[in-house]
């Protein structure tokens, strides 16, 4: 609880993963991947309860071992076409009422409890209805474009970008997938954490923003993220 508001952390973790099989419980430096997110939620000063939603019994067992409450997700909510909102709504329907929902994806093991707490503090300081974490982009999107079939680059860069140093370009930010917070009622009303208004960005450093989607992401955290785990 923070400033008389209650917060429920939901960690969605389905069993199926095509690009990196069983990624949510892969061993990462001695612990299953999902354990890092559970621990960051439990160590938060403001999170009231932590729930893992999964269709997979092994994931649910591991999650209980690390201290999270669990909810068995029906199979139809664990398909490639099921949305994150579907999972969140199912969880909300099976727990008591909380003022805010905090979505923490298990694929962000370098997100720490202080990131969660700072996000919540920002939410309350701004009197916001939602906060979503972002990080600065590694490379400016102004240096990118689509390519025609013949591979021509004659109009690849806009004139105002040519001959500019990268440090002189405007900063761009991307979603990093680490923290999503939203007022419970607003979330159910708009069916998204990305509300139409009164939503703000929590900026994280790039080093803590790795989102494990493929094996290369996992290997990168194993090698370079060891001091942050």
Indicate whether 31 belongs to any domain: yes
Residue 113 lies in a domain: yes
Whether 27 is in a domain gets the answer: yes
CA distance 146 to 5: 46
Residue 26 lies in a domain: yes
Burial 52-82 (b: 16+ CB within 10 A, else e): bbbbbeebbebbeebebebbebeeebbeeeb
In a domain, 123, yes or no: yes
Residue 2: inside a domain = no
Pairing of strands 7-12, 27-28: unpaired
**Percent of the chain, pLDDT > 70?**
100
pLDDT tens track for 41-70: 999 999 999 999 999 999 999 999 999 999
Does any domain span residue 206? yes
pLDDT at 18: 78
Mean pLDDT (whole number) for 157-171: 87
Domain range holding 12? 7-139+173-224
Q: Structurally, how many domains does the chain consist of?
A: 1
CATH of the domain at 102: 3.90.550.10
Q: Residue 100's closest CA among 133, 124, 71? A: 124
Residue 229 forms part of a structural domain: no
Average pLDDT rounded to a whole number, residues 169-191 = 97
Structure tokens given for 167? 């440090």
Each residue's pLDDT tens digit, 82-128: 888 999 999 999 999 999 999 999 999 999 999 999 999 999 999 99
Burial class (CB in 10 A: 0-12, 13-18, 19+), 5: middle
pTM (2 d.p.): 0.94
Structure confidence at residue 188 as a pLDDT band (50, 70, 90): very high
Q: Are 74 and 5 in contact (CB under 8 A)?
A: no
Whole-angstrom CA distances from 130 to 10, 34, 53, 101, 114 are: 15, 24, 21, 9, 18
For residue 163, count other CB atoms closer than 10 A to its CB: 8
d(CA 130, CA 202) in angstroms, rounded, equals 10
Other beta carbons within 10 Å of 128: 17
């Amino acid at each position: 609880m923070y400033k008389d508001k209650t917060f429920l952390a939901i960690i969605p973790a389905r069993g199926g993963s095509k690009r990196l099989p069983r990624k949510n419980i892969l061993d990462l430096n001695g612990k299953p991947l999902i354990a890092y997110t559970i621990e960051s939620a439990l160590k938060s000063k403001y999170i009231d309860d932590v729930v893992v939603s999964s269709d997979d019994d092994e994931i649910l067992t591991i999650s209980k071992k690390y201290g999270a409450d669990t909810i068995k997700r029906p199979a139809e909510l664990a398909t490639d076409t099921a949305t994150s909102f579907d999972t969140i709504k199912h969880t909300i329907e099976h727990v008591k009422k909380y003022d805010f929902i905090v979505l923490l994806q298990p694929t962000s093991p370098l997100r720490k409890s202080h990131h969660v707490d700072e996000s919540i503090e920002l939410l309350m300081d701004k009197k916001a209805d939602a906060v979503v974490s972002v990080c600065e982009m590694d490379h400016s999107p102004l240096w990118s474009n689509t390519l025609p079939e013949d591979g021509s680059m004659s109009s690849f860069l806009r004139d105002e970008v040519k001959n500019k140093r990268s440090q002189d370009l405007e900063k761009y930010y991307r979603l990093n997938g680490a923290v999503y917070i939203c007022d419970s009622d607003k979330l159910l009303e708009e069916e998204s954490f990305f509300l139409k208004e009164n939503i703000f960005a929590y900026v994280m450093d790039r080093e803590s923003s790795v989102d494990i989607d493929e094996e290369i992401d996992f290997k990168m955290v194993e090698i370079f993220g060891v001091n942050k785990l």
